[in-house]
């Protein structure tokens, strides 16, 4: 879209060191974040971590959209950092603007989807001759399926998905558009990969949806249990590394990134934008709050509630999650006090 089209969804847009003519002519092809940053993009910046990132980037052909509050607080630094010809602006309510402007980009991304007519009938599905596809499987447009893949009854593989060789999808799995599965994976019945993340911005009595289009990328040798939900990323993919093992009834929120070898036991819940380091293990019903980072080879006890970042090789339990020795001492003290007569 041209800048003039974006302005229709951002009526309170104020340009910074940018002429109306230059912005109106600027071509914006996608919304980007730190993961898919690149030219001809719109980048949202309303917090120091986003500003620190973009200060170090080549900002040519990127339109930076600030929140008014952040811009006014950092106006001097922003003015000194931006070079002539770089494009920027601000609006009053950045989250609400994200809801409004994400919709036309979403519409552009999904217009090539076709999940009403099977891709085998359309002639757009690329299926290896050794793949085994059961009856009552739906294949969307432009799907690619590798050698020795097995897809069992009731499964839906939506548009623009790909499945690597040797992978098995058990009955009634759903892959939403732009889900990419690696080699030798096993996804068990009832799991949904790539549904929209739970993202809304509230204004004047209405929850305004943030439109998701990032998809999911799953590595090799991953096993996913029954009735697991892995949400797609907002503007770039949610990522599941090689060798990850996910038990039944697990929720992985949008924009999460699981490194290689992570284990999530039953009913674990990860909020959006959680990063989990390699070979970390989370016990059953553990929960992690949004935007947190958990180090490598860390152990999170069953039922724990993680409310802050964790480093490498930490062992935590309880709510809020604490080092396990501290948590056990606390339990012992409480027990001692309750047994006193």
Separation of alpha carbons 230 and 220, rounded Å: 16
* Neighbour tally for 214: CB within 10 Å: 25
Q: Residue 93, Cα to own-chain centre: how many angstroms?
A: 22
Tokens of residue 118, six digits: 């099977």
254 is catalytic: yes
**Best CA proximity match to 44, nearest among 4, 85, 6:** 6
Give the three-class secondary structure for 72: helix
Phi, psi of 207 (to 5 degrees): -90, 110
**In terms of DSSP bridges, do strands 269-270 and 229-231 run parallel, antiparallel, or are they unpaired?**
unpaired
Tokens of residue 291, six digits: 């935007």
Q: Which residues of 233-253 are buried (b: 16+ CB within 10 A; e: fewer)?
A: bbbbbbbbbbbbbbbbbbbbb
**Best CA proximity match to 321, nearest among 299, 290, 337:** 299
- Give the single-character DSSP code of 331: H
Catalytic member of 160, 208, 212, 254? 254
Separation of alpha carbons 199 and 194, rounded Å: 14
Asked if 304 contacts 321 with a C-beta cutoff of 8 angstroms, the reply is yes
**In terms of DSSP bridges, do strands 87-91 and 62-67 run parallel, antiparallel, or are they unpaired?**
parallel
Work out the burial of residue 277: count CB atoms within 10 Å of its CB; fewer than 13 is exposed, 13-18 middle, 19 or more buried.
buried
36: which strand partners? none
Separation of alpha carbons 288 and 283, rounded Å: 12
Where do runs of H (alpha helix) occur along 111-175? 119-122
Active site residues: 254
């Amino acid at each position: 879209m041209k800048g003039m089209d974006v302005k229709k969804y951002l009526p309170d847009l104020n340009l910074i060191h940018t002429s109306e003519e230059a912005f109106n002519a600027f071509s914006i092809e996608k919304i980007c974040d730190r993961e898919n940053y690149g030219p001809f993009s719109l980048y949202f910046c309303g917090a120091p971590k986003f500003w620190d990132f973009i200060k170090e980037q080549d900002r040519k052909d990127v339109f930076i959209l600030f929140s008014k509050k952040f811009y006014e607080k950092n106006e001097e630094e922003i003015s000194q950092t931006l070079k002539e010809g770089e494009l920027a602006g601000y609006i009053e309510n950045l989250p609400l603007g994200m809801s409004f402007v994400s919709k036309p980009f979403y519409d552009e991304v999904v217009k090539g989807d076709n999940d009403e007519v099977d891709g085998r009938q359309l002639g757009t599905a690329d299926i290896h001759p050794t793949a085994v596809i059961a009856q009552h499987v739906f294949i969307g447009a432009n799907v690619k399926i590798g050698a020795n893949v097995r897809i069992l009854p009731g499964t839906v593989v939506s548009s623009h998905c790909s499945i690597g060789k040797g992978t098995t999808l058990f009955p009634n799995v759903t892959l939403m558009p732009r889900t990419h599965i690696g080699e030798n994976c096993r996804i068990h019945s009832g799991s949904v990969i790539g549904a929209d993340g739970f993202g809304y911005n509230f204004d004047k009595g209405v929850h305004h949806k943030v439109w998701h289009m990032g998809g999911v990328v799953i590595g090799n040798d991953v096993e996913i249990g029954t009735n697991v939900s892995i949400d797609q990323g907002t503007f770039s993919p949610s990522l599941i590394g090689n060798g990850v093992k996910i038990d039944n009834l697990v929720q992985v929120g949008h924009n999460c990134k699981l490194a290689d070898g992570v284990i999530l036991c039953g009913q674990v819940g990860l909020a959006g934008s959680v990063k989990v380091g390699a070979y970390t293990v989370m016990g059953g019903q553990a929960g992690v709050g949004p935007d947190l980072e958990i180090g490598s080879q860390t152990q999170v006890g069953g039922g724990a509630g993680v409310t802050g970042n964790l480093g490498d090789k930490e062992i935590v339990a309880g709510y809020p999650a604490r080092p396990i020795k501290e948590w056990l001492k606390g339990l012992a003290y409480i027990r001692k006090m309750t047994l006193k007569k």
